[in-house]
Amino acid sequence: MMETDNKQVLSSEELEILQEIMNIAFGKSAADLTDVIDTHVVLNVPFINVMHVAALPDYIRNYVKDYVNISIVEQRFWGRFRGDALLVFSSGSGKELIGMLQHGEGMSLVSDHIEILERETLMEVGNILIGACVGKVAELLKDIVTYTPPVIVLERHYEDAFSENDFAPDQTAIVLKTDFNFSEGNISGFLFLVTSNDSIQWLKDALQIFIEQYE
């Protein structure tokens, strides 16, 4: 895997600040989601990695391979902090989420309708998780972001779900990853925020400004 030395791009302190910001941001996402769904999202320690973009599809595949089939909500965000958010769910999560949003009422829809409902549900949940997380990162770093509409990939084999062509290969990516499980239902997944060269210098400056308020 073509991993770049993290510290060549961001210093140890910058990586730690970014990790803490991601922790705060995903905590906000989980809290926003549990306003809508009666569950508890079990959070894990986020992880930051810096790599060549060409290595990114394999990096992500390596994390999600145990799910075999996955569903993805992808959304681009634009501000001085810009990049791609990829919310990857384990197989079957979409249907589980429909049940949870309908508060356990049984599904009696024909399969076409279930697929539409599954897409809409993943889009809604994705909007909440990605919007709250990216929005909080941006807020803490004094930025404002806008989003493209989410794109849904439904129940696809993990090897076919990401293409090398999805990302500009000559760029360096900062990957912010967090994994999560829901306490109810069999739902788990990963959120990857991928931000590239364009944001790096701004990000370094913004991280410094953020930590200065605590010095």
Partner 1 sequence: MEDCLTNDMVKKILIVDDSPIARKMLKSCIPKDQGFEFHEACNGSEGVEKYRSVCPDVTFMDLTMPVMTGFEAIEEIIKHDRNALIIVVTADVQLKAIKTVLDSGAYMVLKKPLKKEDLLIALSKAQDTLQQVK
Interface residue list for partner 1 (CB under 8 A): 13, 16-17, 19-20, 23-28, 30-31, 34, 40-41, 43-45, 140, 183, 211, 214-215
What does the alpha-carbon distance between residue 152 and residue 166 come to, in Å, rounded to a whole number? 14
Q: Are 29 and 133 in contact (CB under 8 A)?
A: yes
- The DSSP 8-state label assigned to residue 183 in this structure reads S
Residue 136 structure tokens? 């909080």
Question: Distance between CA atoms of 37 and 158, rounded to whole angstroms?
Answer: 27
Residue 135 CB, nearest approach to partner 1 (Å): 14
Residue carrying structure tokens 């790096």? 200
Considering the complex, state which of residue 17 and residue 70 has its C-beta at the smaller distance from partner 1. 17
Q: Closest CB to partner 1 among 70 and 191?
A: 191
Give the separation between CA 166 and CA 137, rounded to whole angstroms: 23
* 91: Cβ contacts below 8 Å, ≥ 6 apart: 67, 68, 69, 70, 71, 155
Q: How far is the CB of 164 from partner 1 (least distance, A)?
A: 32
As measured in angstroms, the least distance from the Cβ of 166 to partner 1 is 30
CB of 158 to partner 1, least distance (A): 26
Please, which residues have CB within 8 angstroms of residue 66's CB and are 6 or more apart in sequence?
Answer: none
Nearer to partner 1, 121 or 178 (CB): 178
Nearest CB to partner 1, comparing residues 188 and 197: 188
Q: Which is nearer to partner 1, 23 or 199 (CB)?
A: 23
CB of 35 to partner 1, least distance (A): 9
